[in-house]
Chains A and B, each alone.
Chain A
Amino acid sequence: EVQVVQSGAEVKKPGESLRISCQGSAHSFANYWITWVRQMPGKGLEWMGVVDPGVSRITYNPSLQGRVILSVDQSTSTAYLEWSSLRASDTAIYYCTTNFLSAGVDYWGQGTLVTVSS
């Protein structure tokens, strides 16, 4: 069982920057996708993007329009989701998952609640 641990809840003001984190195992972060999923209040799941360590490629959902940056520090098995300028509409729970879905492997973090309010 792989433990995926995300950073704690954040309360920010519009326009502020933020970076949240997700730490897994060295093996999973080196071999599996690292995916971020957004869940806005009372809504469904939205795929934000993925880091594919096998080909060192990051793919974003175009709907995010370049507003977030995904990254991974393999030396600490930590993934990051970053905003340079938050909006109220970024209020959501953000989940990190490391997975190899074609083999039925999938581990989720507990989620990070981000609240953006003036």
Chain B
Amino acid sequence: EIVLTQSPDTLSLSPGERATVSCRASQTIIQSSLAWFQQKPGQAPRLLISPASTRATGIPDRFIGGGSGTVFTLTITALEPEDSAIYYCHQYVYYPHTFGQGTKLEIK
């Protein structure tokens, strides 16, 4: 099973700042088969990025995915209050598919 380890576990930043979340895989993720999701309290997750650097439809360009191999990043530039959420990375190339443990982003 591929283990995805996100860092940090929590982030507390102010509006306008930049957030960077890292996702490290225990094995190489081929074909950039990595996605990023955002989940707000009481809501289903929402796809932000998939594959690794491609924004999903309707996602603002403040959300930037990058990386390859075993290290991937999600960067959110110019944070807004509504970005407060938990962010998960997810690999979908090897079974079982797996999620990172989540990174909680708090906007001060």
Contact partners of B69 in chain A: CB under 8 A: none
Question: In the docked arrangement, what's the CA distance between A45 and B45, Å?
Answer: 9
Contact B31 A102 (CB under 8 A): yes
Tell me whether B25 is interfacial, beta carbon within 8 Å.
no
A36–B61 CA distance with the chains assembled, in angstroms:
29
B68 contacts the other chain (CB 8 A): no
Kindly supply a per-residue 1/0 record for chain B positions 88-108, scoring 1 wherever the CB is within 8 Å of any chain A CB and 0 otherwise: 101010011111111000000
How many residue pairs between the two chains, A and B, have CB atoms under 8 Å in the bound complex?
Answer: 61
**Chain B contact residues (Cβ within 8 angstroms of A): what range?**
20 to 34
Of listed A47, A50, A59, A110, residue having the most chain B CB within 10 A: A47
Tell me the bound Cα distance from A49 to B96 in angstroms: 8
**Complex interface: chain A residues within 8 A of B86 (CB):** 44
C-beta contact mask, B43-59 vs A, less than 8 Å → 1, else 0?
01111001100111100
Residue pair A47, B99 in contact (C-beta under 8 Å): yes
Mask: chain B, 29-48; 1 = CB below 8 Å from A; 0 = not:
00101010101000011110
- Are B88 and A108 within 8 A (Cβ)? no
Interface size class of A (residues with CB under 8 A): 20 to 34
Looking at the complex, which one of A47, A102, A104, A108 makes contact with B96 (CB distance below 8 Å)? Answer: A47
| Known contacts A101-B33, A106-B56; 15 further A-B pairs (Cβ under 8 A) | A35-B97, A44-B102, A45-B99, A46-B99, A49-B96, A61-B96, A101-B35, A101-B50, A101-B92, A102-B31, A102-B51, A102-B92, A104-B50, A104-B55, A104-B57
**Residues in chain A within 8 A of chain B (CB atoms):** 35, 37, 44-47, 49-50, 59-63, 95, 99, 101-102, 104, 106, 108-111
